[in-house]
Structure 1
């Protein structure tokens, strides 16, 4: 019976962002996360030259261990299967049928270890007409409607800046694995949890899709820029300031009244066109002109002081350089720093799960080098001596 997260053994066959972020959440909670990599390392490592690892790999692989195995070799496959026997969770986000071609189909792994929870991240899942399509964050953004609904009506579709489909898939994968672990406490049995990145985006389009049904006879544009996806709320936009931009939303009548008075156009409150949310949405362009006329003459700080005092929902549009040193993220330990032997002092991703009764240790280790924990992990879990463990890292000769 597992007593804590520190008793969990998690194998991660993860690469790029999806699987590794799921594994990182387990690592943050204290689980032993063993990254099983190809001999040359997972794909994300290739974004830097030489022996150095890229910043994105460093950010997502703290507190993990690395074992390098050639899963195409009998020795490597045998070692991996013995690790499966010891594991509680297997996280994988390989392309469809990859593990099956290696003779490591998920059903056979579950049959081998019936208590194993297998968290399988896929672009489009293993069923449906898209299941065999190559999937990366960009392509899933395109297929899901995210790109089609992003941008301005008179311009081309635009992808989201963040790789949100990759990370949405990883977050849901972690949630699914945790649900399966909870179920295992009652049944004693593991199961396969599949999460399609594509599936996780549909709920995020609720506002945009609802506009199709709320106003079925209208010709709403699919792309609404920074305005509300369903064009149902105003003010709702990103407005120009003298030194940048701010996002402002008025979700209620009292927000609108307070905004108008704070920014100096209080007379608009009495305009019958703007008397209720429906009217303001119908006159969105006029509302935006009023707000922009006030904000463009003020700095972000000046607007923040006015709207903050009035209780209006707003936020300055932060640049990436500002986010990189955001004091709020630093205080909440979402941005943490490690001293990397090659990259120096660099930021890594902290734990977004704040739990009152679970406080993992404060130390945050650096991402491991390929196979850095080969001897320790395979010695402790499989009983191999150091020479046997290191021999599994030898590049085989293939004829």
Structure 2
């Protein structure tokens, strides 16, 4: 028995921005050894926006990793990388399509160095799509997948989701693909190339919207604001309280009956014209007016407590300030404060994966650029101090 699910797994992380780094963060939190291989200026998110000061975004996604600075365009850098591949289990990358091939580091080359290697590639678009060779970012995937087209209000322009859904859905699916490849390797003894397109990963999240389109024969509005994406549930909205906003939805007739009881509207509970989900959706505007009128004069937190006690699905609408000052921040929470050697506090993400048989990994700060170059190359490849000094002087590491 290992202490953690991925103890002994070595990952060479070439990935950048959000998609790949989140995938490798999940692996690090299960015990994998992550060597983040960066170009000489570091990956783009390190210095984005705030100049020479490392960004909070980089810190959040790169705790529990080692940083190796390496020039893959230099033949000696490429040779060092392939020597590392020979001792690794996984390589993760989300470069623009064709980049690894141009570097002479495609899957065939990696597999020649190590037949057990799993190459995991985060892509924007699926290999069979017209956009397969195009560069992609979260915004462009939201645009082309239907996410933007289904976000916002019918009488307003399309809007992106506030969260970077495509990046993180893609990264999560890439993690799943790697786990499957590692499991299959136990039977075959060989690695393989895993590819996950962000566009593919985000499409299933549109289930309600696509179902509404299909069920209505394409007649439903594509953008429904805060209402249900397929207009199949009502009430389902964000309603104003006296001091904030509350999300309330009634998935079942029982939820609706309980809400009517809280609103002191037994007449609505007994009205056959509101007795079924379809009937309530047919009068969605009237229903929203009833709920909004009731909610508007009540303190948010009291209303949420009463709704939850009655079993009605609901939640207060929290700001980022609320989240950052609430229970999601803490040493064992999803946003974890950590101190570096100088006592400076930064934040890293915790893991949403909880395995009873895998001991949690204590969170550490994201590494400085190239912080572990010497230790990784000495530990893994046995390079001497003189060899490291030469490589550094000649800008290979």
What is the Cα deviation at residue 337 of structure 1? 1.1
Q: C-alpha deviations, 1:342-370, integer Å up to 9, x for none?
A: 79323210011100010134x32111111
Report the Cα distance in structure 1 between the residues aligned to 2:342 and 2:155, rounded to whole angstroms.
46
What is the Cα deviation at residue 385 of structure 1? 1.4
Unpaired segments of 5 or more residues in structure 2?
none
Measured on the aligned residues, the alpha-carbon RMSD in Å equals 1.9
**Secondary structure of the corresponding residue to residue 318 of structure 1:** coil
Report the Cα distance in structure 2 between the residues aligned to 1:277 and 1:85, rounded to whole angstroms.
58
TM-score normalised by structure 2 residue count: 0.95
1:240-259 aligned at under 5 Å gives the runs 240-259=240-259
Report the Cα distance in structure 2 between the residues aligned to 1:173 and 1:242, rounded to whole angstroms.
43
Report the Cα distance in structure 2 between the residues aligned to 1:272 and 1:393, rounded to whole angstroms.
78
Asked if residue 121 in structure 1 is aligned to residue 122 in structure 2, the reply is: yes
Who is 1:95 aligned against?
Answer: 96
Unpaired segments of 5 or more residues in structure 1?
none
Who is 1:360 aligned against?
Answer: 360
Who is 2:180 aligned against?
Answer: 179
Shift of the 264–328 alpha-carbon distance from structure 1 to 2, 3 Å rule, reads: farther
Contact residue 375 and residue 390 of structure 1 kept, 8 A: no
Who is 2:66 aligned against?
Answer: 65
Moved more, 42-51 or 229-238: 42-51
Contact residue 2 and residue 8 of structure 1 kept, 8 A: no
Report the Cα distance in structure 2 between the residues aligned to 1:395 and 1:124, rounded to whole angstroms.
38
Shift of the 379–352 alpha-carbon distance from structure 1 to 2, 3 Å rule, reads: same
Report the Cα distance in structure 2 between the residues aligned to 1:48 and 1:275, rounded to whole angstroms.
53
Moved more, 81-90 or 382-391: 382-391
Moved more, 380-389 or 43-52: 43-52
Q: C-alpha deviations, 1:56-94, integer Å up to 9, x for none?
A: 000100010011111111111111111111110111111
Asked if residue 298 in structure 1 is aligned to residue 298 in structure 2, the reply is: yes
Shift of the 189–244 alpha-carbon distance from structure 1 to 2, 3 Å rule, reads: same
TM-score normalised by structure 1 residue count: 0.95
Report the Cα distance in structure 2 between the residues aligned to 1:360 and 1:262, rounded to whole angstroms.
42
User: How many correspondences in the alignment?
Assistant: 395
Asked if residue 392 in structure 1 is aligned to residue 375 in structure 2, the reply is: no
What is the Cα deviation at residue 2 of structure 1? 9.2
Which consecutive segments of 4 or more residues in structure 1 shift more than 3 A? 1-4, 48-51, 328-332, 340-343, 390-397
Report the Cα distance in structure 1 between the residues aligned to 2:286 and 2:343, rounded to whole angstroms.
51
Contact residue 70 and residue 393 of structure 1 kept, 8 A: no
**Secondary structure of the corresponding residue to residue 240 of structure 1:** strand
What is the Cα deviation at residue 118 of structure 1? 1.0
Moved more, 2-11 or 352-361: 2-11
Contact residue 239 and residue 247 of structure 2 kept, 8 A: yes
**Secondary structure of the corresponding residue to residue 237 of structure 1:** strand
Report the Cα distance in structure 2 between the residues aligned to 1:33 and 1:159, rounded to whole angstroms.
32
Moved more, 174-183 or 388-397: 388-397
Q: C-alpha deviations, 1:219-277, integer Å up to 9, x for none?
A: 21100000011111101111111111111110111100100111232321122220111
